[in-house]
Chains A and B, each alone.
Chain A
């Protein structure tokens, strides 16, 4: 039996939408198209119509239900907290019969020929060739996110020569009086940003914890969610829960916002009770604050040549209420002068595989971040999600700004001299 929820399981919350229209103020795709079908209220109306048999599935295919980043920005502001991102997921699974939407045949819009763009195109051109993708397991969401044909003209990091799993054993022994911490790496930190994953592990290990990073762990499932591939979502959920059973771990730490949501709140929303696993899932910055690391950092002597850093809220942390901890972490760093930016919490536009289907719209949403970044005067945008890093850097390059996007862990490891 399927452990994914069906549309009917969301019927109660679907009926809780009071059609007030507030989601129009916060939906990134609505702000681009100004079409009712693009906003949460419209999608919920369609989901309700589907339940009532008022509309045929075929009609929804590739239409409004497709125009959703599943970012959850609407959910945070909804007076009744109607979980549109989960409802859209259920509709997509129903549309695709749990097989996931086909990626081929979807027109990837052409690119404009601006100078800055050509520069990035050269940079991005060689990357993620099929050869590189061969190094990455087939179940990885990176295959869904980066089909080679869709990647022309984008700034994307190179696949690292040695993945995170090549760099560490499955189990790292720590101090006897410290618990075992599970580390969920996720595809991006494993293959694209292993140095960030490495920093996380070295940091935790340096704090005395034993680290368990099971090799059997898979993709968090976010891209599969985005595509409506129900079967893959289930396979990954079971595999990940199984993988962490080998050692009793106190926490399962993530350093990727999407992974945190994928193995945390998404698994918690399934029909099977995974609480034994999901209750342990914690974002690294939240964990570090609990462990008192911020006080240690704050006590370090501030450097005179501090660099201006701002923070971008990844949707997958923002919707779970994690907004203060990453900022506190940045503020505590000796080499950082933290500045807030306007629209810090608005979505970068990546949205699982959304960017792949709707690159022009995704780019336009990303471009809305630029003014805030520019006005803040920051030289570095720090965030806590590899997906956001890629998309933000792409937007910044297109705008021709000289601003670097980094994972906040990179700044932390710089402060603590971890390498």
Chain B
């Protein structure tokens, strides 16, 4: 099914790809190129070909071919990233890994799982939980995002307050390098100091250094029980101070989620938990562990946050009530459209004690530019989802948003935070990286990229800012 007319891919290259993966798994048809042109950023760049890989060997052969012919390769999982990590901004081959979805082993003696990159995160979690084990990283996309994508972006989630992020659970990797060589990093032991820690280097490298084909993950025993509570505050200041106070009191909850007044406004009518009319901020706090200690923990938390203007506290007594509390959090994203049709979602992170300062800074920016900013997120680890909600149809709005984003990032960096906690840099934050990292640091990163990928064929155009900025292709006409 090779397309006529605007064919860009060299026919000989297509024949070689067919020889590697078979005719069914290579396509240059317009329809297939369109369905592999986007991710959750909603930007669109047409690739020249789509290849579905099913083994390390196939990937290795495709990389050798691409490296020889200098064709860009884009590894792709669920395509649910927020920063353009899987966008084929320079065309080339989109290499789809969703079919490599086997859980190869769950080792209950050593608390280890070995998986292929296309395994869906929640699928692994369900499997290990049936065995009394636990894989903590829980990005909001866990029901559909793949572990390969989670590794590439070093995904986080609400539970990371207590349990850490993806990189804290990756013990070893099998990786196909741009040259086609297959390497193995780390291993199956918790301790391992042989040579450089390449495992950590690949985690979060956004698919620019190699293609992960096997992942060895650390598992934990599944916590016996959990307790969830929802606390409504009179002021945003009170909630922000409570976050700092809980951590300051040396209590680490499993999750510590935060919603500001603008967020609450969006969900006021959709939430089935009654919200106090005076409520300006909400914290959802969850603790886990042995059932006997949970009441003690929630009690201590309530003592610590007592002085910060609490309107109401709801402590879930049953699993269903806990679900009802989480439902309040889940309806947030879909209901944001009420504020404005176009959303700019940034995931800045600041030291936990600086959450109140960051919230103040965001309020100031919002007022200064007269642009609604809705904030919610994983306050417990200082990771705040900043949603700038606008209507881009308004004249001059695009330029205004750009300034707002710039100011938000500067504020986070000034508080010794970071411009991205979980989403990565990709294409959408590349131009801001210099706000946080100095030239020698960026230059060291560039040299690492060149070492692994001298011809710049693996996921080119990501992380490092290329000037002039890449323009989006609105589809070929």
Residues on A close to B: CB < 8 A?
A: 18-25, 34-37, 42, 45-46, 49, 52-56, 59-60, 63-64, 79-80
Contact = CB atoms under 8 A, between A and B. Distances in A.
Contacts of B3: 59
B15 interface: no
Ordered nearest first, which 10 A-B pairs have the shortest CB separation? A79-B334, A21-B80, A25-B143, A34-B98, A42-B35, A24-B144, A25-B144, A54-B475, A36-B35, A37-B35
B187 to A, nearest CB: 29
A25 B34 contact: no
Contacts of A45: 34-35, 37-38
A32 B41 CA distance: 26
Contacts of A64: 31, 35
A79 B333 contact: yes
Interface residues of B, number: 35
B78 A24 contact: yes
Contacts of A59: 3, 29-31
A46 B37 CA distance: 11
Given A49-B475, A53-B477, A54-B476, A19 B30 contact: no
A19 B78 contact: no
A108 B229 CA distance: 54
A59 to B, nearest CB: 5
Contacts of B101: 34
A258 to B, nearest CB: 27
B42 interface: yes
Contacts of B157: none
Contacts of A79: 333-334
Contacts of B377: none
Contacts of A37: 31-32, 35
B52 A35 contact: yes
Interface string B142-161: 01110000000000000000
A64 B30 CA distance: 12
B96 A55 contact: no
Name the prevailing secondary structure of the B interface residues: loop
Given A21-B145, A35-B52, A49-B30, 18 more contacts: A18-B42, A20-B80, A20-B141, A21-B80, A34-B99, A35-B96, A36-B96, A37-B35, A45-B38, A49-B34, A52-B475, A54-B30, A54-B476, A55-B31, A59-B29, A59-B30, A63-B31, A64-B35
A46 B35 contact: yes
Contact of A21 (B40, B122, B334): B40
A211 to B, nearest CB: 38
A43 B338 CA distance: 26
A21 B79 contact: yes
B126 to A, nearest CB: 10
Given A19-B42, A25-B143, A60 B31 contact: yes
Nearest to B97: A34
Interface in B78-134: 78-80, 96, 98-99, 101, 118, 120, 122
Contacts of B337: 80
B37 to A, nearest CB: 8
Contacts of A20: 40, 80, 141
Contact of A54 (B34, B40, B52, B120): B34
B423 to A, nearest CB: 13
Interface in B175-226: none
Nearest to A20: B40
B286 interface: no
B167 interface: no
B39 interface: yes
B266 to A, nearest CB: 13
B227 interface: no
A19 B35 contact: no
A46 B31 CA distance: 7
21 contacts: A18-B42, A19-B79, A21-B79, A21-B144, A23-B144, A24-B80, A25-B120, A25-B143, A34-B96, A34-B99, A35-B98, A37-B31, A42-B35, A45-B34, A46-B34, A49-B34, A54-B34, A54-B477, A55-B31, A55-B34, A79-B333
B250 to A, nearest CB: 37
B144 A22 contact: yes
Contacts of B80: 20-22, 24
B352 interface: no
A79 B337 CA distance: 10
